[in-house]
Amino acid sequence: MYHKFGVSKYPSTNITLEQFESHLQEFSLSKYKVLSLEFILDTIINDGQLPNNTIGISVDDADKSFLTTAWPKFKEKNLPVTLFVSTSTIVDNNKNYLNWNQIRQLKNEGVTIGAHSHTHNHLTELSNTEIIDEIELSNNIFLKELGVIPSLFAYPYGETNEKIINLLKNYKFKVAFGQHSGVINETSNLYYLPRFSLNEKYGDIKRFKFLITMDADFSHDPKIINKMSDEEAIIYLSKLRQIGRWSAEMILLFTFNRPNIWPVQDIGLLRAISNNYKKKYLPPVKFINVLKKRFDPYCSVATWYLWRSIDNEPIQY
Question: What's the min distance (Å) between Cβ of 124 and Zn ion?
Answer: 14
d(CA 49, CA 52): 9
CA distances from residue 227 to 107, 207, 236, 293, 313 in whole angstroms, order as listed: 34, 7, 11, 23, 37
Coil, strand or helix at 316: coil
Nearer to Zn ion by Cβ, of 83 and 302: the residue is 83
Question: What's the min distance (Å) between Cβ of 62 and Zn ion?
Answer: 9
Nearer to Zn ion by Cβ, of 61 and 249: the residue is 61
Nearer to Zn ion by Cβ, of 61 and 232: the residue is 61
Nearer to Zn ion by Cβ, of 79 and 123: the residue is 123
Question: Cis omega before residue 284 (within 30°)?
Answer: no
Alpha helices in 15-80 (DSSP H): 17-27, 37-45, 64-65, 71-76
* Cβ contact 120:156 at 8 Å: yes
Nearer to Zn ion by Cβ, of 61 and 266: the residue is 61
Nearer to Zn ion by Cβ, of 66 and 210: the residue is 66
Coil, strand or helix at 48: coil
Nearest to 268 by CA among 242, 249, 293, 244: 249
Nearest-5° angle of CA 240, CA 244, CA 250?
90
For the chain, the C-alpha Rg in angstroms (whole number) is 21
* Cβ contact 59:84 at 8 Å: yes
Question: What's the min distance (Å) between Cβ of 13 and Zn ion?
Answer: 9
Question: What's the min distance (Å) between Cβ of 148 and Zn ion?
Answer: 21
Question: What's the min distance (Å) between Cβ of 16 and Zn ion?
Answer: 20
Name the residues that contact Zn ion, by CB under 5 A: 60-61
Nearer to Zn ion by Cβ, of 86 and 139: the residue is 86
d(CA 108, CA 67): 13
Phi, psi dihedral angles at 287 (to 5 degrees): -70, -40
**Buried b or exposed e, range 230-241, using 16+ CB within 10 angstroms:** bebbbbbbbbbe
Question: What's the min distance (Å) between Cβ of 67 and Zn ion?
Answer: 16
Question: What's the min distance (Å) between Cβ of 84 and Zn ion?
Answer: 7
Nearer to Zn ion by Cβ, of 61 and 230: the residue is 61
Phi, psi dihedral angles at 212 (to 5 degrees): -85, -10
Question: What's the min distance (Å) between Cβ of 85 and Zn ion?
Answer: 9
Query: Using CB atoms, what's the residue nearest to Zn ion?
Result: 60
